[in-house]
């Protein structure tokens, strides 16, 4: 909750802004005085709190006492790992206290359901579907929700999408015909940085706390550590604390614009909410079918403008999404796409960031071809990929640690032709290209995490190489100060690319 001093500072700030605006305007008949403007603003906040709180629920979750790993499991994963150490300790202390309060005695039936977790949610349909975070209900054996009027109900999980941290639960009313107050969902695409943002939830067991601030930024990605996470967060300085997770972030009109999800440290004024358009897209499918089927192209991606050297190297494009790798068992494997291709549009819709590409692909029909507009060096190309359902497993590359014989070297990479010795040494299952036999210490190539012994190099600056002579000929055309594009296949069989550039000392 906002402290009195913090609230006073913000109120004075709003008052100063209103007075400044009023004084800057030319007087005219019927003009409202500055204090009238402040009273209207104050009334707007009160109206939002009154209107939205009725659709907010406090979610309590239970776990089996006998599941000794339950508490530890809930304090793992990307949402928890992304928190600062201080915040992790507070979460751990908070959970420990809940468990101690729920279990004053040590001798407890291992099959007993213990309510040891708490979060927030928002009702999105009058028949009781509630939108919340996946990490709020993860691993729960029982769920109950409490409305602002004090009514309490059991609830069950309708479905979840861990990659976006979205989940939907269904209230199980005692009376089948009961109708629940639902929230009004806004349009997060129309949210503007700087506008008011109001968070409602149950932080630290302080139910129905209302805090306010502003939208600090949009389109925040990379907040969590794993690249598979669907991250398109709204950043806000409205106070969000443990227990706020799953609750709504709303605008001054009382429309839900996001689902509060993460914070970056205590008292930092940095919180993150899932945009309501993404949450609505996922929740609608969950309500309809009980799960969210996420489409995938089977490619690793990164934003071009975030790779400055490679961006400068490409002659024909300045914005887009780099294909950094291709899953050899994925839907794009036989599409014609290559690592280092830059996707600039999906079905004609321009994409400039990795998250924008994810947004365009996420809900595509499984098996229905999607047209990708691509730039390859100075060529404009189009490819068609039929998305597959996102798999539950991850491909983990194998890195050989065997010793290698020395061979010809360029920029610290020593190459060998793919022969029986190399196939046996590196357990290769394909023969196209040349194999890196050694990376010289402190060389340009040693700075790369992808260029390792056992890696097959298939092209240099888009020139195919299948022999040592090909490497020497292609490298003779390389200006390493401008950079060189290396297409490769890693030890797990995944096509990727690396861009090397000598930046000097």
CB contact at 8 A, 382 and 371: yes
Q: Are strands 233-236 and 271-275 parallel, antiparallel or unpaired?
A: antiparallel
pLDDT the model gives residue 303: 92
CB contact at 8 A, 269 and 235: no
Is 245 tagged catalytic?
yes
Collapse the DSSP code of 484 into the 3-class scheme (helix H, G, I; strand E, B; otherwise coil) and give the result: strand
DSSP state of 365: P
Collapse the DSSP code of 190 into the 3-class scheme (helix H, G, I; strand E, B; otherwise coil) and give the result: helix
Q: Tell me whether domains 51-104+112-292 and 409-500 share a fold.
A: no
Per-residue pLDDT of the chain (505 residues; tens, 9 = 90+): 444 445 444 554 555 555 455 545 555 544 557 778 878 888 888 888 888 999 999 999 988 765 544 444 444 444 454 454 555 555 556 555 555 555 555 555 555 778 878 899 999 999 999 999 998 998 888 899 999 888 889 999 999 998 899 999 999 876 656 789 999 999 999 999 999 999 998 877 778 888 889 999 998 876 765 556 788 899 998 888 777 889 999 999 999 999 998 887 555 678 899 999 999 999 999 999 888 998 999 998 999 998 988 999 988 898 999 999 898 888 999 999 999 999 999 999 999 998 899 999 998 999 999 999 999 988 999 999 999 988 643 333 333 334 444 556 788 898 988 887 788 778 787 878 899 988 887 788 888 888 988 899 999 999 999 888 889 889 989 999 899 999 999 887 888 999 998 876 5
Alpha-carbon span 382 to 24, nearest angstrom: 55
Is 50 tagged catalytic?
no
DSSP state of 41: H
Q: Residue 476: CB partners within 8 Å, gap ≥ 6?
A: none
Q: Could you say which of 55, 82, 216, 245 is catalytic? A: 245
Q: Could you say which of 135, 221, 325, 448 is catalytic? A: 135
CB contact at 8 A, 212 and 264: no
DSSP-H helix ranges across 109-160: 134-137
Q: Cβ–Cβ contacts within 10 Å for residue 101, how many?
A: 10
Q: Could you say which of 116, 165, 327, 490 is catalytic? A: 165
* Fold of domain 51-104+112-292: Thrombin, subunit H (2.40.10)
- The gap from C-alpha 497 to its chain's centroid, in whole angstroms, comes to 24
CATH of domain 409-500: 2.30.42.10
**CA distances (Å), origin 93, targets 74, 86, 89, 442:** 13, 11, 6, 45
Q: Residue 172: CB partners within 8 Å, gap ≥ 6?
A: 128, 153, 154, 155, 156
Q: Give the domain ranges of the chain.
A: 51-104+112-292, 295-389, 409-500
Alpha-carbon span 116 to 135, nearest angstrom: 14
Helices and strands (H and E) in the chain: how many? 11, 28
CATH class for the domain made up of 295-389: mainly beta
CB contact at 8 A, 484 and 478: yes
């Amino acid at each position: 909750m906002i402290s009195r001093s913090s609230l006073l500072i913000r109120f004075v700030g709003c008052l100063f802004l209103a007075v400044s605006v009023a004084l800057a305007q030319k007087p005219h008949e019927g003009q409202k005085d500055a204090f009238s403007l402040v009273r209207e603003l104050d009334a707007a906040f009160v109206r939002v709190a009154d209107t939205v709180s009725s659709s907010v629920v406090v979610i309590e979750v239970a776990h089996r006492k006998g599941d000794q790993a339950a508490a530890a499991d809930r304090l793992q994963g990307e949402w928890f790992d992304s928190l600062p150490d201080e915040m992790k300790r507070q979460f751990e202390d908070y959970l420990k206290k809940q468990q101690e309060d729920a279990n004053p005695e040590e001798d407890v039936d291992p099959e007993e359901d213990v309510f040891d977790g708490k979060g927030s949610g928002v009702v999105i349909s009058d028949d009781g579907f509630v939108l919340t975070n996946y990490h709020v209900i993860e691993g729960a054996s029982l769920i109950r929700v409490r409305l602002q009027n004090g009514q309490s109900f059991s609830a069950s999980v309708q479905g979840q999408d861990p990659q976006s941290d979205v989940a939907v639960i269904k209230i199980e009313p005692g009376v089948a015909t009961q109708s629940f107050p639902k929230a009004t969902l806004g349009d997060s695409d129309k949210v503007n940085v700087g506008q008011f943002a109001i968070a409602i939830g149950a932080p630290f067991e302080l139910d129905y706390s209302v805090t306010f601030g502003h939208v600090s930024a949009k389109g925040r990605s990379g907040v969590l550590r794993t690249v598979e996470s669907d991250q398109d967060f709204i950043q806000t300085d409205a106070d969000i604390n443990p227990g706020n997770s799953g609750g709504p972030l709303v605008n001054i009109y009382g429309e839900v614009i996001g689902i509060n999800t993460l914070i970056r440290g205590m008292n930092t004024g940095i919180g993150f909410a899932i945009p309501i358009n993404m949450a609505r897209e996922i929740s609608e499918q969950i309500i309809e079918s009980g799960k969210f089927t996420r489409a995938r192209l089977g490619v690793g991606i990164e934003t071009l403008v975030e790779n400055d050297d490679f961006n400068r190297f490409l002659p024909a494009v300045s914005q887009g999404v780099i294909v950094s790798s291709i899953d050899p068992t994925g839907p794009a494997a036989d599409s014609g796409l290559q690592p280092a291709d830059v996707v600039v549009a999906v079905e004609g819709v321009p994409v400039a960031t990795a998250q924008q590409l994810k947004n365009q692909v996420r809900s595509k029909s499984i098996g229905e071809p999607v047209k990708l507009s691509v730039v390859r060096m100075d060529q404009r190309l189009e490819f068609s990929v039929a998305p597959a359902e996102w798999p539950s497993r991850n491909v983990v590359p194998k890195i050989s640690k065997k010793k290698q014989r020395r061979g010809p070297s360029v920029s610290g990479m020593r190459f060998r032709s793919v022969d029986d010795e190399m196939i046996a040494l590196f357990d290769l299952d394909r023969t196209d290209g040349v194999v890196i036999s050694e990376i010289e210490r402190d060389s340009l190539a040693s700075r790369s995490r992808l260029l390792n012994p056992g890696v097959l190099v298939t092209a240099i600056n888009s020139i195919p190489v299948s022999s040592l002579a090909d490497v020497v000929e292609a490298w003779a055309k390389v200006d390493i100060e401008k950079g060189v594009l290396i297409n490769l296949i890693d030890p797990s069989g995944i096509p990727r690319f690396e861009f090397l550039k000598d930046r000097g000392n």
